[in-house]
Amino acid sequence: MPKVVYVSPAGDSREIDVPAGTTVMAAALKNGIDGIVAECGGVCMCSTCHVFVDEKFFDRLPPAQDTEEAVLEIAAVERRPTSRLSCQIKVTDDLDGLVVRLPEKQR
């Protein structure tokens, strides 16, 4: 099963086994990762599941669609080049070891 590593703003990391096909957001909620709020329930309508994807993995993700790009504009912590919404990242076997860093705040 692929693993996803969530890194808190303080630098603490937690590695979670995530079934392929699950979103990075859903896995975070299920495993009680602080720092992913997912106010809209995972339909790309808010920006409270914002993450910074590790550069090694960023180019391996399918590109963000227009709606995700629009919503990232209102992220509580200003977006960076590797910003994504974790509700839009589906974990695959190819992404095993994916590292996402959580912003200091989501709202």
Partner 1 sequence: MINYTEKIPNNVDLGRDRVLQRALEHWQPAYMGWWYDMGPNESHNYEVYLRTAISVEPDGWAQFGYVKMPDYRWGIFLQPRDEKREVNFGIHKGQAAWQEVPGEYRSTLRRVIVTQGDTEPASVEQQRMLGASCPSMYDLRNIFQVNVEEGRHLWAMVYLLHRYFGRDGREEAESLLARRSGDADNPRILGAFNEPTPDWLAFYMFTFFTDRDGKFQLCALAESGFDPLARTCRFMLTEEAHHMFIGETGVSRIIQRTCEVMNEHKVEDPSDVRALGVIDLQTIQRYLNFHYSVTLDLYGSDVSSNAANYYTSGLKGRFEETKINDDHVLSEGLYPVFEVIGDKIVRKEVPALTALNERLRDDYIREIESGVSRWQRVIDKAGIPFRLTLPHKGFHRAIGNFAGHFISLDGEVLREEEWKKQEHKWLPDSKDHAFVQSLMSGRVVEPGKFANWIAPPARGINNQPLNFEYVRFN
Give residues in contact with partner 1 (CB under 8 A): 23, 26, 34, 39-43, 45-46, 48, 65-67, 69-71, 73-74, 76, 78, 87, 105, 107
User: CB of residue 56 vs partner 1: minimum separation in angstroms?
Assistant: 27
Pairing of strands 13-17, 50-53: unpaired
Tokens standing for residue 97:
């070891």
Closest CB to partner 1 among 87 and 98?
Answer: 87
Closest CB to partner 1 among 54 and 79?
Answer: 79
Q: Is 106 within 8 Å of 86 (Cβ atoms)?
A: no
Work out the angle at residue 26's Cα, subtended by the Cα atoms of residues 42 and 4, and round it to the nearest 5 degrees.
Answer: 130
User: CB of residue 2 vs partner 1: minimum separation in angstroms?
Assistant: 19
Closest CB to partner 1 among 16 and 48?
Answer: 48
List strands edge to edge, sheet with 13-17: 13-17, 3-7, 98-101, 50-53, 83-85
User: CB of residue 98 vs partner 1: minimum separation in angstroms?
Assistant: 19
